[in-house]
Structure 1
C-alpha cells in the first residue's frame, strides 16, 4: 500500500533542484541509504549498444512499515508495529539506452517467486532461500534482497533501488500540489460485512484532484478496483498524471515548488548507497527528464492464478517472458522505438546468465534426464518426444542423456539444475541449453530437482533444435500486460459494484 510512485517523481524533481552548498549538504543529510544488493544473484549488466550507451534500471519499492507513529496513523493496526515490513508496491523503471523512452513494470505483491538467500546488511541476519510471495523479500534482507529477487526472476540487471513509506507518500503528494485521477462511478473503499480493510478512499465519479492522504488512499485502493491488478493500473494512471501535471505547471523550473519537492523527496526516500547524494540523484533526474510524456509506458507483469494457492499469482510463462525479453533487449514498450535485433530474443541473457563461472563438465560425463512436457491443457503429448530429444543430445556428445518415463507438462522448454550444485550446476545446464539452442533465460536453478533435467515443453513439439524465437518488436506487448501510456488522458477506473455509493 506503499506508493512507489512518488519515488520516480522524486528522481525527476531532484534532477532540477538547484541550491547553495549549505542547502546541498542539508539535502544530502536528509537522504537515507542502504546496500544495493544483499542477496545471491549473478545477473550481469547489459552490454552497451553501438553508440556506447546502456539502459538504466531502477527498482521502486513501497514499504508497508508501520514502525512509526506517522505510518501507523495512515494505515494498519497497533499489532503490526515491530513486524518486518513488506514490499507491497514494486515497480521497475527501465530507461532506454538512447534515453528516448521509459518503461515501467509492476509485479503484484502476492506473486509467488523464488526469493534467494539474503543477508540483512544492517543486522547481519542470514535468510535461506524461500519460495513465497514477493512482498516478503523486503523483510528477508532489506531492499537489496528485493532487488536480487527481481534480478533472478527477470534476468534484468537493476542499477539502483529507491524506497518510500506511507508518510513519505503523503509528503510527496502534498508537495506536488495535487494530481488528477478519474473513476467511472462513485467510489468508497471501506470495510464490508464479509471483507475487512479498505483504503478509505471516497470520491464522486469523474476526474478529481487528489493530494496528501487522499492520494495515498487512491494508491492503496485494492478492493474497489477489483484486485491487486486493478490497483496497479490505478497506480500507473496516477504516475502518468503526475508527470503530465508537473510538466504542464512548469514544475521542473519553478524554484519554490522544486524546493518543497526536494525537501519532501530527500526526507521521504531511502536509496541504494551508490546514488545516495543529491548530485547522483540529479544525474539520474537529468536522464529521466529527457523522456517525452508520450513515451512513458506503464505495465504489470502478466500473471495467472497460482496452482498452489488461489489467493496468489505466478508469472504467466509466455507473456511474462515476452515482457522481460523486451526489457533485456531494450525494446521500447511503445511503437516509437526500434525493434529488437534478429535472433536476440533467443540469445538474450536470462536470469541465470553471469559474466564469469566455472567451465562446464565434459559432455560425455554429464548425466541429463530428458522429460516429455509437450502435453497439457487439452493437448496430447507427442509420443516418445523425450526419447527423441535424448537421442539428439547423445549425438552431440551427451552420451549419458536418458529419457524419463514420467511426463511433466510445461508450456515452454526448461533446463533445470539442482540449486545445491551452485555455479558448476549452472555452467553444466547452460552447456546443455547451448547444444540445443534453448535460450539461457530458460535455464533455472531449483531446490526440487537432484539431477540436471531438460523438460521439453509444448513450445517444442518437433525438430532436433529448439525453434528460433522471433525478435521482439517495439510496442508488441502482450494484452495481459495491461499497458497505460503517458499520453492517455482519458483513462478512468471502473469501480467494483459493492464499493459504489
Structure 2
C-alpha cells in the first residue's frame, strides 16, 4: 500500500496533530504575552529565575491612581483583565542610538490596550493613537506634586505628565474601562526580542526613504532583524507606501508586525530551544518595567498559565474610530457614538464580529473624557446620508443608549492575517 494510515489510524494521526497544535498556542500583545508563556518553560531553573527576576524593574502606581475608577467589566461569568502595554520613547542608555535624535524626557511612543475575556479564551488588542485629543485628569506628577487637569491635548502627553499611572487614569476616563496592570518596554527591549527569535517577516508595498528619521526599507516581503523591525513599526513619513503621515499608518503596521511575530515564534524552534527561550526572556525582562502586580517572574508566570487555551486566531486587533477635526487636522478625535459602543462591547466581553445577540435592556452610557466634536463629525468624504447613519455625541456628554442598534462590528483583523494583506 501507500503506507498512509487509514480508518482508525488516520483518526489517531489527526488527534496527534491537533494535540501538537495546542502546544503551539501563543498570546501576543506586541510580544509581551508570548514571552510570558515562554517564561513558564524556564521558571523552574533557579539560576535563570533569579537572573530574570532581577532584570524586571518596578513601576509603582500605589497612591497614584485616581479614586473615581471604573468597576471591572465582564459578562457575569468571571473577571476579565485589562493590560496596558506602553512602548516608551526614552533615549536613556542604549536607547538613544536606536531612537535617534537628542530628545530628553520620556513619552509613550506606542500604546496597546489588551483585554482578556473572563474565560481567557479571547483577547482584543486595541491600539490607542498617540495623537488622539483627550482630556487628561489631574495626576500625581513625577516629582510628587499634583498636576492641573488638561483639556484637548495629545494622549501621549499623559505619560510625560505622570508616567504610567497618569496614562492609566486617562485611559480609564476616556474608555470607562478599568486598567488592571501595565508593562512598559523600551526600544532596546523590542530590538532584543526580535533578534532573539531570529527576525520577523514584514511586507511593504513600496520602498521607504525617510531622511528625517534616517530610515531606509526596501519594498516586498522579507525578514528583518531587530533594528529594521524597530524602524518598520516607528516610521511616520509613509506616503510612499500608501499612508498619510499620521499615527494611523503606524498602527496598521504595528498590528501586522505583532501578528507576524506570533507566527514566527510558532514556526521556529524558539519554544523548544532552551538557549533561544532564555535569550528571548532575558532580552525582554531587561527592558521592561511593570506595576506592583506584575513585577516578578512569578507574577508573569501566573498570568501566562491562565492563557494556555488562547490561540492566535482568538486574538482580535481593533481600530478605534477616529477622524481629523477641522480645527486641528494633525490630530485625531473619537467618532461618537461608535467609539463608546466599541469600548462598551470590549468591556462586556462581546465578540467584535457582529455576532452578539441584541440586548434586551440598554447598556449604561459611558462617561467619556475624550475630546468630542462640537458638531456632528464627518470622518469620511461627504456622501448621501444612508439610513441609520450614526452621528457624533455632543461635547457636553455621551448620547443616550440605543438598544435598537445592531451589535458592534468595528474595523478589526485577526492574528492569522498575512502580513502583506495587513498593510
TM-score by length of 2: 0.80
CA distance in 1, matches of 2:154, 2:419: 33
2:226 corresponds to 1:202: no
Alignment of 1:27-426 (within 5 A): 27-36=52-61, 38-40=64-66, 42-46=68-72, 49-51=75-77, 53-68=78-93, 70-78=94-102, 80=103, 83-120=104-141, 123-131=143-151, 132-185=153-206, 187-191=207-211, 197-198=212-213, 200-205=215-220, 207-224=221-238, 225=241, 226=243, 227-334=246-353, 339=356, 342-343=359-360, 346-347=363-364, 350=367, 411-412=392-393, 416=397
Partners of 1:29 and 1:230 in 2: how far apart? Answer: 37
How far apart, CA to CA, are the structure 2 residues paired with 1:175 and 1:89?
21
Contact 2:175-2:366 within 8 A present in 1 as well: no
Give, in angstroms, the shift of residue 117 of structure 1: 0.9
**What SS does structure 1 have at the residue aligned with 2:356?**
coil
Consecutive unaligned residues of structure 2, counting only runs of 5 or more, are 1-28, 383-390
Tell me how far apart the structure 1 counterparts of residues 97 and 117 of structure 2 sit (CA, whole Å): 39
Instruction: Find the counterpart in structure 1 of residue 409 from structure 2.
Output: 477
Aligned length: 375
Cα offset for 1:334? 4.2
Cα offset, 1:350, TM superposition: 4.7
Query: 2:47 maps to what in 1?
Result: 22
**Cα distance in 1, alignment partners of residues 115 and 310 from structure 2:** 11
Distance change in 2, residues 1:48/1:88 (3 Å) = closer
Residues 318 and 375 of structure 1: CA distance in aligned 2, closer, same or farther (over 3 Å): closer
Q: What's the offset of the Cα at 1:49? A: 4.3
For the aligned residue pairs, the C-alpha RMSD in angstroms reads 2.9
C-alpha deviations, 1:34-81, integer Å up to 9, x for none? 124634362333256454x2111110111111132x111112323x2x
**Contact residue 139 and residue 161 of structure 2 kept, 8 A:** yes
TM-superposition CA deviations, 1:232-265 (whole Å, max 9, x none): 0110011011112212225334322211111111
**Pair 467,36 (structure 1): closer, same or farther in 2 beyond 3 Å:** closer
Q: CA deviation at 1:349?
A: 5.6
CA drift at 1:21: 2.5
**Aligned pair in 2 of structure 1 residues 375, 274: CA closer, same or farther (>3 Å)?**
closer
**Contact 2:190-2:284 within 8 A present in 1 as well:** no
Q: What is the distance in 1 between the residues matched to 2:377 and 2:146?
A: 39
* Structure 1 unaligned blocks of 5 or more: 192-196, 353-372, 379-409, 417-441, 443-456, 458-465, 495-501
SS in 2 for 1:312: coil
Query: Which secondary structure does the structure 2 equivalent of 1:270 belong to?
Result: strand
In structure 2, distance between residues paired with 1:283 and 1:376 = 44
